[in-house]
Amino acid sequence: MAVTLYTSRVVLSTLGVEDFGIYNVVGGVVAMMGILKGAMSAATTRFITYEIGRNDFEQLRKTYCISVMIYGFICLTFVIIAETIGLWFLNTQLIIPDDRMTAANWVYQFTVLSVGIEMMAQPYNAVIISHERMSFFAYISILEVILKLLIVYMLTIQPYDNLAVYGFLVFCVSLTVRMIYGTYCKKNFQECKFRFYRDKGLFLRMLSYSGWNLFGSISALVKGQGLNILLNMFFNPAVNAARGIAFQIGNAISQFSHNFFTAVRPQIIKYYAQNDLNNMFLLVFRSSRFSFYLNLLFSVPLLIETPKIIQLWLGQIPEYVIVFSRLIIIISAIDAMAHPMMTAAHATGRVALYQSVVGTMNILILPVSYLFLRWGYSPVSVFWVSLVVTSINVILRVLIVKYLIRSFPLMNYFSQVCGTCLLVSILSFILPFSFYKILAPNLWNDILVCLICVLSVIACVYLVGLTSDEKILAKAIFNNKILTYIRIKR
């Protein structure tokens, strides 16, 4: 997170607000065409994890090989669409200054290559996560941020167009990570040796699952990148830059809960494959709360001290970036709590109802936001629409999981997860907000408020947000890890 926030500052400073906005909106066009990657990725992870849970190696190898074949077809389709419809949209529909159009096209081509490479790395990624090799996954994540730090350094010393070079360097990072993933998987997992298989049943099941996930991925892009392009159509690239900065903050915070849940997701699916529903429900409840708590730990200080933190981070405060950031932080926290419910639905393999209902709600964000903008509302209105729909989707997800898994304790989820998270959130804000209002605005007082925010969240989570069993576990972890480390240092 620290590297991401630092590199965002330097990239914004080096590229300038206009080029930073262009990069975000061009990347959005490619991301819209890369939705096939996300749809198939969820299917690959689910089917591979399910077979590991069943201890069926032959079916596991077959699943991996068929997923590689499907990804090859998806990648080819993506490139064709990107080099036809995508290029037309970039050069005729987006508002980009004429003198930056050449650089925008270079960025577009490098981004297409990056997405294509990432597509072909997804089967490896799915195998690593399914086998729960989280240490390697963490090392690669650390390597990626180090490479991004290197990108920032390269931007400051190279003599060419910064926007085009930035796109090229991001492509180089994607290629490096893809090669590392491939080498590791081929050396450590026997199923990662490709063979041509013909299994029409499995092929159709994976395509059907992916098809509904494709609809879900389209809806997620409408909620994210679709709105980014909509903002570009009504406003100028500076608004896209503000949106890009806000999403950098939201993504940096969400990374904590996302990485935590990456380790949890395979276990939820394996419990379902083994028909161990009680442990599955327990893990869904806990991971929903813990994902939210991790997000809350960083959200509270950022929500209270948003202007000061952005000023310190970027050295400037672009228009709309403060309100954009606050709304995206809230939306990210709600989404973090809802991710385990999505995995519970995916574990069943019956995703049609889930994706059609939740996806349709997300797609509705675009036309509703368009109407608000046509009526003359500010760009902030689109994020308010997203917040309302995100909140409604939490309720819909729970109801759908109850329909798919009849024994799911619906009312317990609302009280023990939603109710507890809401109570912890309210209590966490009381003390730090009081200090924020009382103390004079200066650097040391701002640091003190942020510290109080973190301590307040930790205290409220421990006192109100944990069950008695979880408190015992937290104490044991503290005694075994923290106190032991302190004794060793002494």
Residue of 475, 474, 434, 478 lying closest to 453 (CA atoms)? 434
Q: What percent of the chain has pLDDT over 90?
A: 9
> Measuring CA to CA, which residue among 66, 20, 9, 72 is closest to residue 43?
66
Task: Record the tokens describing residue 446, joined without a space.
Answer: 């701002």
Which residue shows structure tokens 């480390």?
485
Contact 454, 421 (CB under 8 A): no
Task: Please tell me the predicted confidence (pLDDT) of residue 31.
Answer: 58
Separation of alpha carbons 60 and 55, rounded Å: 8
pLDDT reported for residue 17: 67
Number of alpha carbons in the 13 Å side-chain half-sphere of residue 396: 17
Amino acid identity for residue 78 in this structure: F
The predicted pLDDT at position 35 comes to 58
Nearest to 14 by CA among 154, 174, 173: 154
Burial of 315 from C-beta contacts in 10 A (0-12 / 13-18 / 19+): exposed
Distance CA 392, CA 365 (A): 12
Q: Which of 197, 205, 190 is nearest to 50 (CA)?
A: 205
C-alpha radius of gyration, the chain, whole number: 23
Q: What is the pLDDT of residue 284?
A: 92
Rounded CA gap, 36 and 48, in Å?
A: 18
The predicted structure's pLDDT at residue 313? 72
Give the pLDDT score at 455. Answer: 93
- φ/ψ region of 315 (left if φ > 0, alpha if ψ in -120 to 50, else beta) reads left
DSSP H helical ranges for 55-130: 57-81, 87-92, 101-130
**pLDDT at position 274, please?**
84
Distance CA 487, CA 117 (A): 47
3-state DSSP assignment of residue 479: helix
| End-to-end alpha carbon distance in the chain | 30
How many angstroms separate the Cα of 108 from the Cα of each of 47, 77, 293, 416? 33, 17, 37, 46
Dump pLDDT digits (tens) for 145-154: 888 788 877 8
Q: What angle do CA 468, 450, 436 make, to 5 degrees?
A: 110
Quick one: how far is CA 477 from the chain centroid? 28
Instruction: Give the C-alpha distances (Å, rounded to integers) separating 294 from 51, 332, 392.
Output: 30, 11, 22
Rounded to whole angstroms, the Cα distance separating 97 from 324 reads 24
Those residues of the chain that have pLDDT short of 50 are none
Q: 271 CB contacts (<8 Å, ≥6 apart)?
A: 53, 277, 279, 280, 283, 347
Q: What is the pLDDT of residue 489?
A: 56
User: What one-character-per-residue DSSP string does 156-208 give?
Assistant: HH--S-HHHHHHHHHHHHHHHHHHHHHHHHHHH-GGGS------HHHHHHHHH
Phi, psi dihedrals of residue 95, rounded to the nearest 5°: -90, 100
Q: Dig out the tokens for 344 from the structure.
A: 């519970």
Return the structure tokens found at 367: 């036309």
Dist CA 88 CA 1 (whole Å): 36
**What is the CA 308 to chain-centroid distance, rounded?**
25
Question: Burial, 48: exposed, middle or buried (Cβ in 10 Å; 0-12, 13-18, 19+)?
Answer: buried
Residue 428's nearest CA partner among 391, 463, 399 is 463
Per-domain boundaries in the chain: 1-234
- pLDDT at position 262: 76
Which of 36, 150, 29 lies closest to 88, judged by CA?
Answer: 29
Q: pTM for this structure?
A: 0.72
Burial of 369 (C-beta count, 10 Å sphere; 0-12/13-18/19+): buried
Note the Cα 183 to chain centre separation in Å: 25
